[in-house]
């Protein structure tokens, strides 16, 4: 009798049982809202749902450091019939998490891809202008954006869109850039952030509000396993090859850099691992 059979079977059983959980419509649980004049973190989401998937650090910055998190809906997907329904799903998800939401256009920006960047400079410049205006208005202390190799064309396009927008701003503009991954891992993340079971459950509940997407593919039920695998990988790619794994259960990997003097600078040397009992603002050198 294989002693691991029940262990493995329990994972399969949980995913099967999870298919009976509600999609959206979950009553909110009140939590203190950030102050209206609190510092801002902007999440530039290539698609509705990315704010939930990569939002571990953003959620902790809101809940523990008091930042006001605003999700910027760069696109609303490429299926025009789904763009308005996806916007409504996104509103519900952000409302449930406590994130603000801003649109870039009535149906989101279109053709945010490397191909459009190279082949249609006029269209690209207009989109860059929209993102630059958002950055200038909010003066965010932190910007979340996909890394440049995140496989999906819109994810890669969003990376370059935000970087081009940053380059268009005055040299005095400063912020921290927190690059994230979903479709393809970063080769050199420098931050692993643990999420509590409560935070993960909240991200999954919010993700379930993207009903049309998770009905098509119940990826929300597999997200905990992805967050667990991040601990395996992050132990060495962030903590150092051959390093001992921290006693984290769920984590998200990021690459933190600083935008200063019109360009990208290293935020710190080496890698950092932030557990659930560590203050997330320490990543950026902030004092409580």
- Model pLDDT for residues 197-239, shown as the tens digit of each residue: 999 999 999 999 999 999 999 999 999 999 999 999 999 999 9
Give the angle 24-30-32 at the CA atoms, nearest 5°: 130
Alpha-carbon separation of residue 222 from 9, 191, 217, 274 (angstroms):
15, 22, 10, 23
**Looking at the predicted structure, is the pLDDT value of residue 130 above 90?**
yes
Rg (CA), the chain: 19
**Looking at the predicted structure, is the pLDDT value of residue 279 above 90?**
yes
List the domain range (segments joined by +) for residue 188.
Answer: 10-277
Give the angle 22-66-55 at the CA atoms, nearest 5°: 40
130 falls within a domain: yes
DSSP, residue by residue, 96-127: HHT-EEEESSTTB-S--SHHHHHH-HHHHHHH
Cα–Cα distance measured from residue 99 to residue 57, given in angstroms and rounded to the nearest whole number: 13
What local confidence, expressed as pLDDT, does residue 288 receive? 85
User: pTM to 2 decimals?
Assistant: 0.96
What local confidence, expressed as pLDDT, does residue 243 receive? 79
Q: Domain count for the chain, please give it.
A: 1
DSSP, residue by residue, 206-251: HHHT-HHHHHH--GGGTHHHHHHHHHHHHHHHTT-TTPPPPS-SSE
What local confidence, expressed as pLDDT, does residue 179 receive? 98
Cα–Cα distance measured from residue 176 to residue 108, given in angstroms and rounded to the nearest whole number: 25
Cα–Cα distance measured from residue 31 to residue 205, given in angstroms and rounded to the nearest whole number: 15
**Looking at the predicted structure, is the pLDDT value of residue 30 above 90?**
no
34 falls within a domain: yes
What local confidence, expressed as pLDDT, does residue 31 receive? 82
178 falls within a domain: yes
Q: What is the pLDDT of residues 105-128, one digit of tens each?
A: 999 999 999 999 999 999 999 999
What local confidence, expressed as pLDDT, does residue 29 receive? 81
The string over 143-164, giving b where at least 16 C-beta atoms fall within 10 Å of a residue's C-beta and e elsewhere, is bbbbbeebebbbbbbbbbbbbb
Farthest CA pair distance, the chain: 66
Q: Give the containing element (helix H, strand E) for 131.
A: helix 121-138
Q: What is the pLDDT of residues 231-278, one digit of tens each?
A: 999 999 999 998 788 999 999 999 999 999 999 999 999 999 999 999
- Give me the mean pLDDT over the 123-152 stretch: 98
243 falls within a domain: yes
What local confidence, expressed as pLDDT, does residue 203 receive? 98
- Banded model confidence at residue 21, pLDDT cuts 50, 70, 90: very high
288 falls within a domain: no
- Whether the CB-CB separation of 243 and 234 falls below 8 Å is answered with no
Give the angle 278-90-36 at the CA atoms, nearest 5°: 55
CATH of residue 110: 3.40.50.10320
287 falls within a domain: no
- Banded model confidence at residue 33, pLDDT cuts 50, 70, 90: confident
167 falls within a domain: yes
Average pLDDT of the chain, as a whole number: 96
């Amino acid at each position: 009798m294989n002693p691991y059979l029940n262990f493995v079977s329990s994972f399969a059983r949980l995913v099967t049982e999870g298919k009976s959980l509600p999609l959206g419509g979950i009553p909110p649980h009140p939590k203190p809202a950030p102050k209206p004049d609190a510092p801002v973190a902007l999440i530039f989401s290539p698609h509705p749902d990315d704010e939930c998937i990569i939002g571990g650090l953003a959620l902790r910055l809101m809940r523990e450091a008091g930042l006001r998190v605003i999700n910027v809906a760069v696109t609303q997907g490429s299926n025009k019939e789904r763009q308005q329904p996806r916007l409504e799903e996104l509103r519900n998800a952000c409302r449930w998490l406590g994130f603000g939401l801003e649109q870039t256009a009535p149906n989101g920006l279109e053709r945010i891809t490397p191909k459009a960047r190279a082949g249609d400079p006029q269209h690209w410049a207009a989109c860059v202008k929209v993102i630059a205006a958002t950055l200038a208005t909010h003066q965010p202390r932190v910007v979340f954006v996909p890394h440049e190799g995140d496989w999906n064309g819109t994810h890669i396009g969003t990376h370059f869109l935000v970087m081009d927008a940053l380059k268009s701003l005055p040299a005095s503009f400063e912020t921290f850039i927190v690059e994230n991954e979903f479709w393809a891992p970063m080769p050199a993340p420098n931050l692993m952030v643990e999420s509590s079971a409560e935070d993960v459950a909240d991200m999954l509940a919010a993700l379930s509000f993207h009903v049309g997407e998770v009905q098509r593919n119940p990826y929300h039920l597999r997200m905990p396993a992805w967050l667990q695998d991040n601990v395996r990988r992050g132990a060495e790619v962030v903590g150092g090859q051959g390093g001992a794994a921290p006693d984290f259960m769920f984590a998200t990997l990021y690459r933190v850099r600083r935008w200063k003097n019109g360009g990208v600078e290293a935020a710190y040397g080496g890698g950092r691992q932030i557990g659930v009992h560590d203050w997330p603002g320490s990543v950026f050198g902030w004092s409580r």
